[in-house]
Chains A and B, each alone.
Chain A
Amino acid sequence: MTDAELSEAEKTFILHSVQDNFREDGRGNEDFRHMEVETGLISNTNGSARVRLANTDVLVGVKVQLTAVDPEKPEVGRLDFFIDCSANATPAFEGRGGEDLGSEISAMLTRAYSCPSAVDFHSLCVLPGQQCWLLYVDVLLLECGGNLFDAVSIAVKAALFNLKIPNVTMTKDEGGVELDLSDDPFDFKRLNVAGAPVVVTVNKIGHKHVVDASEKEEECTLARIILGVTEKGTITSMRKEGSGSLDSDSISEMMESARKVGMELNKILLKALEEEEKQGAKTVGFLR
């Protein structure tokens, strides 16, 4: 969060730079900033990832837990998103200050992951009608440098990629079925995240729109649309955010940009994650 508000002159400068498709940090309107992704840093979790997108820093830990199925959906597992806005990011988040932002992001993630093709929810069910896996996806926001939604969703996807769910063996007893968790750390199954969406935020600045807005650029925008985009280019959820309004032609253009960027992002992310796993590099975490 920028502590100083932008002056009119600064806003005009940013507006003009977006108009010329040459933003203040030298990017074009559809370019992302430099991003680093790393998985498997927190050994207490079943899957974890950290994403650093310029100054935005997000850490995600996924923990799995066996739980009773939702009676409305007895044959699928569940995802539970929780976003904690750490005061490390900005003093404004101290105490309960970050709760509103956190619930906004978690609502968006829940919606983006609510379609049946996002992850294989059926594979998360252990005993149909009785037990399923509940994945606690806990996001920790460590620094805010703009474009939180996108960074969080990328980190979530990376953490789900990294997720290792212990295998369960079932033994039939006279009383019912007994579940045994495998305690061998190498006896696990993975989750297929190919269908999982990433969130792309498109900000309207002046007559043009930009993706991956920096904090300053976010100050200049009144309306943005946030979309969940899958690798195939389908849109899993969308919402408009901000106090401004948009005309429907520009929405179509913004959606088109988001789709293009989102598909590319999904592809690059998956490639980078597979590459990282193949190399088996040691985690460096925050020590670099």
Chain B
Amino acid sequence: MAGMELLSDQGFRMDGRKPNELRRIRFKKGVFRQADGSAYLEQGNTKVLAAVYGPHEIRGSRGKALHDKLLINCQYSMATFSTQDRKRRPRGDRKAQEMTSHLKQTFDAVVLTELYPKVQLDIFVEVLQSDGGNYCASVNAATLALMDAGIPMKDYVIACSGSHMRDTPIVDMNHLEESSGGAEVIMAILPRCDQIVFLEMNSRLHEDHLSGVMDHVMVGCKDIFNILNQQVQDELCQKTELDKIVTTG
């Protein structure tokens, strides 16, 4: 069926994007009042909320505290209505646990943990609507939430996924492309230091294509970074302008 092709002969993907085109990204920082930092991010139809609490005293058993650095505690959950078929449990399944540990690793690498010994930072991510790239959207949203909370970080962490189809690398996959059975490369990078903090590949991909896909995903990450950074800086400028008006009367 021609309509079902993941990449058409004209070089367009199922949702009409070009191979290296991202989905529309929209976000807002500070959606919640009570959390120390929060952010809402949409990547196409994937919608994610992230909230950051802390740094605060260790909750629960004190044995978890790390004497020389910050303890990062993550929780990834998906709303029961986020997927096409209803999920029975919002969290606690193996996939969510894996995602939780991936998020923890990612942010351990980027937050300046040594500044806060013996305390804890909570990062909670909630997927409201899932349409592929859940990890990527979660990382991007959590980065924004951390910035909203004012947690010192080395750099933004930006995540993006990619694959290889009909000899063309594609980036920012949606659910349909993810579930088509092709390879999937997920990367989280520090865009300004050109460092990779997380890299995962599922399924089978020819060795020769890997570096090509990785390069494209890297570019995708940097594109996302530019979009996020632009808006963050604009908002910051606006805010400082406002502050100036307020202070100068």
- List the interface of chain A (C-beta within 8 A of B): 1, 42-45, 48, 55, 57, 59, 61-63, 65, 82, 84, 86-91, 94-95, 136, 138, 140, 142-145, 285-288
Q: Can you show 9 pairs from A to B with CB atoms below 8 A apart?
A: A42-B82, A88-B32, A88-B124, A90-B34, A94-B73, A94-B122, A95-B75, A145-B33, A288-B28
Are B129 and A87 in contact (CB-based, < 8 A)? no
Partner of B86, one of A88, A138, A140: A138
B109 within 8 A of A: no
B28's partner among A43, A59, A144, A286 (CB-CB below 8 A) is A286
Interface hits, B123-153 → A, CB 8 Å:
124, 126, 128-130
**Which of A86, A88, A285 is most buried by chain B, counting CB atoms within 10 A of its CB?**
A88
Partner of B49, one of A45, A48, A142: A142
A60 to chain B, nearest CB (A): 8
Q: Would you call A88 and B130 a contact (CB within 8 A)?
A: no
A88 and B90 within 8 A (CB)? no
Given contacts A48-B81, A136-B80, A138-B86, contact A43 B49 (CB under 8 A): no
B-side interface size class: 35 or more
A-B contact count (CB 8 A): 104
Question: What is the distance, in angstroms, from A64's C-beta to the closest C-beta of chain B?
Answer: 10
Stretch at the interface among B37-45, B110-118, B176-184, B210-218: B37-45
Give complex CA distance A45, B81 in Å. Answer: 6
B interface list, Cβ under 8 A from A: 26-28, 31-35, 38, 40, 42, 45, 47, 49-51, 53, 59, 73, 75, 77, 79-84, 86, 90-92, 122, 124, 126, 128-130
Return chain B residues, CB-CB under 8 Å to A57: 32
With A86-B124, A88-B49, A94-B75 known to touch, is A44 a contact of B34 (CB < 8 Å)? no
Contact of A44 among B26, B84, B91, B122 (CB under 8 A): B84
Contact partner of A86 (CB less than 8 A), chosen from B53, B77, B130, is: B77
Which A residues lie within 8 Å of B83 (CB)? 44
Q: Give A2 to B119 CA distance when docked, in angstroms.
A: 20
A140 to B126, alpha carbons, bound, how many Å?
10
Is B82 in contact with A44, judged by CB distance below 8 angstroms?
Answer: yes
Contacts of A285 in B (CB 8 A): 40, 47
